[in-house]
Amino acid sequence: MWRFLAVASHALAVEWTPTILAASEQRIICQKLVKEVALIALGVEAEKHKAALPKDIQVFEETLHALLVGNATRNILGSPSELVKSKLEAVQSHWEVYQVLLQNVTTGDSTGISQAYKLTASIKQLLLEASDLLTAEAVADGNEVPMEFTLAERQLMLIHEMQAEAALVALGTNVTRDLEKMLQSKQLFQESHYGLLRGAEWAGGLGAGK
pLDDT tens digits, one per residue of 60-110: 999 999 999 999 999 998 888 898 899 999 999 999 888 888 888 777 776
- Residues in the chain, overall count: 210
Q: CA-CA distance, 60 to 62, in Å (whole number)? A: 6
Strand partners, 71: 76
CA–CA separation, 20 vs 77, rounded Å? 9
d(CA 120, CA 26): 11
pLDDT of residue 59: 94
* 173: pLDDT strictly greater than 80: no
pTM: 0.76
What one-letter code names the amino acid at 57?
A: I
Tell me the longest C-alpha to C-alpha distance in the chain: 51
